[in-house]
């Protein structure tokens, strides 16, 4: 039988509050954010792929977003009915040499709104509902494991600190 809250030590109260916070608040919020991101990427990709045209776009460096330590940032420009549209994409630094500045890449754009565009391979990946669901479940399981490990270590440290005080 669980001990009443008023009969718990301060450390035990903190551990219970900490557990409640991580499992009842933080973990569900993390799952909601992951699911929301996967769903919005899926819906965006499906909207473009349901009625799209593929064109060739010219590649340039994205001066507005400088490269990071791990990512190279590019932009692409294409024209539809005489109007230019721009999109952006990133790639790993290890693969940045494969992108030819001034060269062309295939880009799929939505016929209803050409400003909605992306590289076809990325759209196909995002439009895979099973892969998105697997990613959310995998990240959720990893999150649960990390929260559990964090709790175990924190509880061990608090018990150790309490033992040294007495």
Q: Is residue 4 part of a domain?
A: no
Residue with more model confidence, 7 or 75: 75
pLDDT attached to residue 120: 94
Q: Is residue 1 part of a domain?
A: no
Asked whether residue 51 carries a pLDDT value surpassing 60, the answer given is yes
Asked whether residue 9 carries a pLDDT value surpassing 90, the answer given is no
pLDDT attached to residue 4: 76
pLDDT attached to residue 23: 83
Q: Are strands 52-61 and 104-110 parallel, antiparallel or unpaired?
A: antiparallel
Nearest of 158, 153, 117 to residue 9 by alpha carbon:
158
With bands split at pLDDT 50, 70 and 90, how would you rate the model's confidence at 50?
very high
Q: Is residue 2 part of a domain?
A: no
19-38, pLDDT tens digit by residue?
888 888 888 999 999 999 99
Counted domains in the chain? 1
Judge contact between 63 and 101, C-beta under 8 A: no
Q: Is residue 166 part of a domain?
A: no
Q: Is residue 3 part of a domain?
A: no
pLDDT attached to residue 20: 83
Alpha carbons 22 and 152: distance in angstroms, whole number:
12
pLDDT attached to residue 52: 95
Alpha carbons 5 and 19: distance in angstroms, whole number:
14
Q: Is residue 108 part of a domain?
A: yes
Residue with tokens 């230019």: 84
With bands split at pLDDT 50, 70 and 90, how would you rate the model's confidence at 1?
low
Q: Is residue 75 part of a domain?
A: yes
pLDDT attached to residue 151: 80
Range of the domain at 120: 9-161
86-129, pLDDT tens digit by residue?
999 999 999 988 999 999 999 999 999 999 999 999 999 999 99
pLDDT, mean over the chain: 89
pLDDT attached to residue 26: 85
Q: Is residue 59 part of a domain?
A: yes
């Amino acid at each position: 039988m669980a001990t009443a809250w008023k009969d718990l030590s301060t450390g035990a109260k903190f551990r219970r509050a900490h557990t409640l916070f991580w499992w009842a608040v933080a973990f569900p919020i993390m799952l909601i954010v992951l699911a929301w991101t996967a769903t919005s990427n899926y819906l965006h990709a499906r909207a473009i792929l349901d009625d799209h045209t593929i064109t060739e776009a010219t590649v340039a460096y994205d001066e507005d977003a400088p490269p990071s330590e791990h990512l190279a940032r590019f932009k692409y420009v294409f024209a539809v009915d005489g109007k230019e549209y721009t999109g952006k994409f990133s790639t790993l630094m290890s693969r940045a040499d494969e992108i030819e500045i001034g060269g062309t890449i295939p880009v799929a754009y939505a016929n209803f709104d050409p400003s909605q565009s992306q590289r076809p391979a990325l759209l196909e990946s995002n439009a895979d509902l099973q892969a998105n669901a697997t990613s959310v479940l995998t990240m959720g399981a990893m999150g649960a494991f990390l929260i559990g490990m964090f709790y175990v270590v924190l509880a061990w440290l608090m018990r150790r600190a309490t033992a040294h005080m007495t």
